[in-house]
Amino acid sequence: MSVSERAGRLGVGIVGAGRVGPVIGAALAAAGHAITGVSAVSPESRDRAEAMLPGAPILEVPTLIERSELVVLAVPDSELEGLVAGLAATGAWQAGQLVLHTSPAVGTSVLTPALEAGAIPLAVHPALAFTGTSIDLVRLREAFCAVTAPAPVLPIAQALVVEMGAEPVIVAEAHRPAYAEALATATTFSTAIVSQAMSALADIGVEVPGAVLTPLVRSAVENALASGDAPPQSPEEIE
């Protein structure tokens, strides 16, 4: 079976209905894949699943895995290793099944128990601050996804990313922690600074600090990204 056929129309199960899982599911559904089900526990996650994946059944994880050709594990990093190992211990993983996780910090090593059962491990992390809403589907088309997978199946992971509308970027297994750190630094720093600036404007009576800062922050970030590795200008050059 060719790569294009293997990554073609798949039955997709989404484990986790936080901000990421339902969006990934919706993007794959838009590409023609069939959503076999989604796992959701809390009322909030059920509402999110129903909003983003209307008509998709909410299933227990073992049942979802049994019915799916591609399983997307969109769970917190702290839960991923235990979830994969626990499912392996119950014999849930199937030979030839695609298993994809969305954690930034690890590659496919965390999926070793599934691999040992014959599953195909893929690690795909969208570099995006998710809201868990349809807004993310638009933003995903401008996003990049870190892809880590064994060489023979790397094209499958890349094809899935392209189908979601994003751009794949290969990140080696050994480089995943550095990748995660870089993204965390950018996200944490920008969130903290913008929040501080909004608070300062609110303190002086500005009624819509977010609206005031939006064009400034966006243009400043775009300028910084466009400059790449260029050194900062000296005061003389600025003048």
Alpha carbon dihedral 133, 137, 143, 146, in 10-degree steps, equals 80
* Per-residue pLDDT, 236: 34
> CA 80 → CA 68, 85, 139, 212, distances in Å?
18, 9, 25, 40
* Per-residue pLDDT, 234: 37
* Per-residue pLDDT, 2: 39
* Per-residue pLDDT, 89: 98
> Which residues of the chain register pLDDT less than 70?
1-8, 228-239
Q: What is the pTM of this model?
A: 0.83
Identify the residue whose tokens are 């590409």.
31
Q: Distance between CA 3 and CA 98 in Å, rounded?
A: 12
* C-beta separation of 52 from 27 below 8 A: no
* C-beta separation of 98 from 117 below 8 A: no
Return the domain boundaries, the chain: 3-171, 179-229
Please tell me what DSSP assigns to residue 208: -
pLDDT in tens, 51-63: 999 999 999 999 9
3-171: CATH, from 3.40.50.170, 3.40.50.300, 3.10.180.10, 3.40.50.720: 3.40.50.720
